[in-house]
Amino acid sequence: MIFPRRIIIFAVAVILVSGLFSFYVKDRPRVDAKAYDKIAWNLARGIGYIEEESLAETPAKDDAIVRVGPGYEFFLAGIYNVVGHRYSVVWILQAVMRGLSVLLVYAIAQMLFASTGTAFLAAFLFGFSPDLIVVNGFLLTETLFIFFVLAGVYTSLYYFLKPTNLRIFSAGLLWALAVLVRPVAILSLLVVFGVLVWRRSWQDIFLFLIAPLVLIGSWSAYATHRYGSFILTTTAGGYDLWVGNNINATGGFEKTPEIQELRNKTHSVELEKISRKKYFEFLFSHPFKFIELQFRKFAIYFDILRPGGVWIGLYAHHWLLLGIIVASFFGNMLFFGVGLAGLWIVLKERSDMIHKVFFAMAFVAPLGAIPIIVETRYRYPLFPFLAIAAAFFLTQKLFDIKLLGRIFIFLSILAAYDLWFNLAGLTERLQNIL
């Protein structure tokens, strides 16, 4: 695709803004970011896929396999191997990926709606999303993951529009890379696979699965052999299932004393097995509580009153943090309110294959978080879909006020439900900021 000059200029502007923010904040890795950084540095030095160097000979006692990965860790390791342990290069490359993602959003919107205005507005909403600019400055998976997701979406839609062997193979490759960064991308991979099976496109199914079987299969075989138990990517999924689904769960990543104690004394593979067992015990012993908890997590995910940007690394920049929170709040109103209205119209009025696939991929994005645990940043992979849908609504369906009102009423009910259960926690976080 040949991009207009103005969208290229805009993508460069997004790169500059994202990069400048990262260099201004200069956040040091913390929590998950610190873990990814340590694993990557050990990989770059040839020690192996390990978080604590002292546990290199006993990997089952190490936490590396409990972390989401391994795609982002290998991405960081590749950088460290070339330029050394320098975060500045990571920030620059992630900013470049933000710019490339802007171009992909533009291309996807143009393909779906054949409107330069809609495509540019979608790119603008995505490019200047305050939450996505902020997360670019941290050593977290989101920027790389969203890039691969958008590349996978574009290539998949382009294949369904104009099928070629190269496009379906490339789609499989991009979705495999996305799965290795965050395994929840397997849901979008299954969307494409399901359409191919429905069409009985056997040759294309083979081409589509080559890269996932080679890349994910190779890592899975290595991890399974290393830890003596089947592992697809990591053991994070089973552990998170238990954290997010127990009698005392709140929907977020709050570990009970029982979970923390077991986490401290049990090695990673055994912890994953126990976690899955505890999850099913909770499901069958407290089915109504389980159902209510899923709805609570659904409410947290779509709560427009929950701003992003509340990062520990920004506490030293008080006014910047407050500005980001306010901008994030209005961004949520736009993305979730107008974006969901746009998606609803796509579902109701667009019946061709690329619109169906686009909607299906947007639909499964929340399913990668809600059944497990919901944190604010877990909503970010849905943002590109909402930006495209919001741009479609604003440029082509702006006067459907009745639909917009219904969407905001629904979102207000979810926000009220979330506040009912989590007001104390949200108030405490706000007091810490103020």
Closest alpha carbon to 99 in 23, 34, 150, 39: 150
Cα(185)–Cα(412) distance, integer angstroms: 29
Domain count, the chain: 1
Quote the tokens at residue 281: 């015990």
Classify residue 334 by its DSSP letter.
Answer: I
Cβ neighbours of residue 56 under 8 Å, at least 6 residues apart?
42, 47, 48, 50, 62
pLDDT at position 215, please? 97
pLDDT at position 309, please? 59
Say which amino acid occupies 329.
Answer: F
First to last CA, the chain: 47
Quote the tokens at residue 285: 């012993």
What's the pLDDT tens digit per position in 143-178?
Answer: 999 999 999 999 999 999 999 999 999 999 999 999
Range of the domain at 87: 5-433
Cis peptide before 70 (omega within 30 of 0): yes
Closest alpha carbon to 177 in 201, 146, 140: 146
What's the pLDDT tens digit per position in 203-221?
Answer: 999 999 999 999 999 999 9
Query: Does residue 103 have a pLDDT over 70?
Result: yes
Quote the tokens at residue 315: 């506490």
pLDDT at position 162, please? 94
Query: Does residue 271 have a pLDDT over 90?
Result: no
The CA-atom distances, in angstroms, between 242 and each of 33, 67, 124 are: 22, 15, 38
What's the pLDDT tens digit per position in 318-342?
Answer: 777 888 888 888 898 999 999 999 9
Radius of gyration of the chain (CA): 21
Query: Does residue 292 have a pLDDT over 80?
Result: yes
The helix/strand/coil state of 252 is: coil
Q: Which position has the token pair 């500045």? A: 88
Task: Compute the average pLDDT of residues 33-48.
Answer: 94
Counted residue by residue, the chain has a size of: 434
Q: What is the DSSP string of 128-191?
A: T-HHHHHHTTSS-SHHHHHHHHHHHHHHHHHHHHS--HHHHHHHHHHHHHHHHH-GGGHHHHHH
Cα(321)–Cα(433) distance, integer angstroms: 8
Cα(173)–Cα(192) distance, integer angstroms: 12
What's the pLDDT tens digit per position in 371-407?
Answer: 998 888 899 999 999 999 999 999 988 778 899 999 9
Task: Compute the average pLDDT of residues 104-116.
Answer: 95
Q: What is the DSSP string of 29-93?
A: P-HHHHHHHHHHHHHHTTS-S-SSGGGTT-GGGSSGGGSS-SHHHHHHHHHHHHH-S-HHHHHHH
Quote the tokens at residue 151: 């590349």
Query: Does residue 354 have a pLDDT over 70?
Result: yes
pLDDT at position 55, please? 86
Task: Compute the average pLDDT of residues 92-112.
Answer: 97
Query: Does residue 306 have a pLDDT over 90?
Result: no
pLDDT at position 31, please? 84
Task: Compute the average pLDDT of residues 116-127.
Answer: 96
Q: What is the DSSP string of 337-390?
A: IIHHHHHHHHHHH--SHHHHHHHHHHHHTGGGTTTT---GGGGGGGHHHHHHHH
Say which amino acid occupies 191.
Answer: V
Cα(398)–Cα(342) distance, integer angstroms: 10
Cα(327)–Cα(300) distance, integer angstroms: 19
pLDDT at position 395, please? 93
The CA-atom distances, in angstroms, between 206 and each of 258, 338, 380 are: 45, 39, 31
Quote the tokens at residue 50: 């390990």
The helix/strand/coil state of 127 is: helix
pLDDT at position 430, please? 64
Give the H/E segment covering residue 214: helix 202-227
pTM: 0.94
What's the pLDDT tens digit per position in 54-66?
Answer: 888 888 888 888 8
Query: Does residue 308 have a pLDDT over 80?
Result: no
